[in-house]
Structure 1
Amino acid sequence: MSWRAQVEKLLSTAHADDDDAAEAAVLAMIEAALTAAALERPKEKRRGGSIPGNAANIDRGWEAADQRLHEDYFSPSPTYPEKLFRRRFGMSSRLFDRIVTAVTENDVYFPQRRDTIGVLGFSPRQKVTAALRMLCCGLCADAMDEYLRISETTASEAFVHFVESVLKCFGEEYLREPTAADIAHHTAINAKRGFPGMFGSLDCTHWEWKNCPVAWRACIKTAMEAHQ
């Protein structure tokens, strides 16, 4: 099973109002993605800089894209409400802010910096959003260009740095063996969902989800068919 199929299956089990469940699902799918990235990651090429005769880099206007992202989701009066944030990012805005802060403090790749000619680079928010859209929505790196104005190469770099940083920051807490308190907590959550006494079950990934977001339906259907 591909890592994208694992991501889609794990997301289908996370409860919309439970940040603990969302964190666990995000961490599990990141671990799967990191494993796949390690296997598929090509040998890093040395950047050669500008070459006479080659086309100039595209001026994507990423500063305007970052401002638009802020206005859409992170301003005091965002364009899109929290409900749509959860659908598109796979988590609450509070959890997103926590992850952005953690990876920015852990990895020098994420803080916003100026390049050698003084141009301001991508914000931590843009880089994390690109990585999460690839994880949560199954989008390819090239799809980040139109909205976030991030090239395929940069989006791929952000993805790898993101999964490695999240595992360093949160892996010890969320990828360990469950404690008695964890078991009691998640058993109570599943009891509310109609599965009393259940801690976790792969069988429940086949449970019909009538309110599945439209954007995920084809992906989840494909993942379920792969297990039949």
Structure 2
Amino acid sequence: MEPTGHYWLTMTHYLLQKEIKAVVVNPAHVKKSKEFDDNSPTKNDIKDARVIAQLVKDGRYSEPNILTGKYAELRVAMVQRERLMRSLIETKNQVHNWLDRYFPEYPTVFKDWEGKASMITLKNFPLPQDVVNLGMEGIVTQWKNEVKRAVGAKRAIKLVEAASTSVGISLGQTMARREIEMLLEQYFLLTKQLDELAHDVVTILEEIPGAVQMLAIPGLGWITVAGGASFR
């Protein structure tokens, strides 16, 4: 088989379950070998099948590394983690994009928009006009209701000042609020899923010989250990 995309995996698993040997050929070899017979790089199913069969006959193949048991669980988990991380990075970039459009002065008040006070702000009064309408005292009250440690009035004053002179877009504010609301929902969902996945991965690692000892090595985290074990 030619292991392009994901379609070959199901067939490979099926063949192995039936105790039939499954082998794969390098897609680059298939591409280079197409011109040998008819001096043409054209592609079709019949030609591809003939080229793949010839490569297998000549012994130019390899056996796929199909993991089983806990190692298979780890591989699935790490693939999912990669997908979630891509989505999280994209969501964070969209939040930055939103701030650049509607409240470009925001980073002068909150260097890290993922902090607790910042999250309260973005959830409850994200737009400059919302901040101005609420005022310094209202902002401090909102922060103190959800943040245990005291959040200084100086930052609230700085936020109001930034909002008062903001050059952000002032049109379409209803849907702008809805947009940041949806982005934050995505952010919290993704971070929750990543935390749950991390717990699952560590639990699996505890059942793999040598993994616990590797985790005890300073500077070697579960991501590195799981990555190595899932793609061994």
TM over 0.5: no
Normalising by structure 2, report the TM-score. 0.21
Q: Which protein is bigger by CA-based radius of gyration?
A: 2
Normalising by structure 1, report the TM-score. 0.21
- Greater share of helix: 2
Where relative contact order (Cα < 8 A, 6+ residues apart) is larger, the structure is: 1
